[in-house]
């Protein structure tokens, strides 16, 4: 049986398509892509001539069974999305889930992804983080989601589009307050790559003041809620007592 390859593509800089990704995209029987026109352009730049067919959120369920038939008959297939890693706020979940259920081998290549790119340069804690994808488009839902994250101690990572960046930053300030540390990565790996950092209020001010900062693609990263000091003190005191007890006659 064939293998389904999950192949990340550049999020802006063509130099980020790995040699291994190029090799897999050239050698598979066909490539499933979110937008065939967009992906053919990318493949053309690397002189990769291969069959490309669509697999996007509206036809994924129906396409998945056909793809699994091809895989079962021995074809290798690659899955790509418009940019970055498939399945990360992109199609592919249904296909991978069904491949696993059918016993089809799935191999993922590591590669470009806006989350790890932004987070590794942000200067916020990265030992633990939570990826929240896109916040809901409706204001009420958006604020509700943010409210549910109020006590989240891990760094939070959001994806955002130019249409909603200001709304999201305003809601972040309304719900989380103005003092938390916030970093925005914009147009990563592209010509106008920018990081803005500071408190929520400071970053909001910078974005509001400069319309250029409202253009492009964004990763928004918010520091987690400060861990309550009182509970920590009690824990530390208890540990000291237990330790001392071991050393007392
Ligand atoms: N699969 C992609 C990945 O691996 O990052 C994400 C796809 S999602 C539909 C698109 C969103 O990812 C954008 O709205 C933005 O939040 C983020 N993104 C993608 N490329 C980016 C870039 N070059 N700079 C900043 N954010 C980016």
Index of the ligand 1 atom closest to the CA of residue 81: 1
Q: Residue 124 half-sphere exposure, CB side, CA atoms within 13 Å?
A: 32
The conformational region for residue 9 under phi > 0 = left, psi -120 to 50 = alpha, else beta, is beta
pTM above 0.95, yes or no: no
What's the 225 CA to ligand 1 centre distance in angstroms?
A: 25
Predicted complex ipTM exceeds 0.90: yes
Per-10-residue mean pLDDT, the chain, length 249: 98 98 98 97 97 96 96 98 98 98 98 98 98 97 98 98 97 97 98 98 98 97 86 59 63
The pLDDT assigned to 129 comes to: 98
The full DSSP string for 3-63 is: EEEE--B-SS-GGGS-HHHHHHHHHSSEEEESSHHHHHHHHHHTT----EEE--TTTHHHH
What are 65-81's pLDDT values in tens digits? 999 999 999 999 999 99
What's the 134 CA to ligand 1 centre distance in angstroms?
A: 10
Q: Hey, which of 16, 89, 163, 189 would you mutate to test ligand 1's pocket, going by the most ligand atoms within 8 Å of its Cβ?
A: 89
């Amino acid at each position: 049986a064939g293998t389904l390859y999950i192949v990340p593509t550049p999020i802006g800089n063509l130099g980020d398509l790995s040699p291994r990704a190029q090799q897999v995209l050239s050698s598979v029987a066909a490539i499933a892509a979110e937008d065939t026109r967009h992906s053919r352009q990318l493949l053309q730049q690397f002189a990769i001539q291969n069959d490309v067919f669509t697999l996007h959120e509206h036809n994924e369920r129906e396409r998945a069974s056909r793809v699994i038939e091809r895989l079962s008959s021995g074809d290798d297939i690659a899955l790509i999305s418009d940019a970055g890693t498939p399945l990360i706020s992109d199609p592919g979940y249904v296909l991978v889930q069904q491949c696993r259920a059918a016993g089809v081998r799935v191999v993922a290549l590591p590669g470009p992804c806006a989350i790890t790119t932004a987070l590794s340069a942000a200067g916020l804690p990265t030992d633990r983080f939570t990826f929240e994808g896109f916040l809901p488009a409706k204001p009420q839902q958006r604020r509700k989601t943010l409210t549910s994250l109020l006590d989240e101690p891990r760094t939070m990572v959001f994806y955002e589009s130019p249409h909603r960046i200001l709304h999201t930053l305003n809601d972040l300030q309304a719900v989380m307050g103005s003092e938390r540390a916030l970093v925005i990565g914009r147009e990563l790996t592209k010509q106008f790559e920018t990081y803005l950092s500071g408190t929520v209020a400071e970053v909001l001010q910078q974005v509001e003041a400069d319309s250029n900062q409202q253009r492009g693609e964004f990763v928004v990263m918010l520091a987690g809620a400060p861990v309550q000091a009182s509970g920590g003190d009690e824990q530390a005191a208890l540990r000291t007592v237990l330790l001392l007890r071991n050393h007392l006659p």
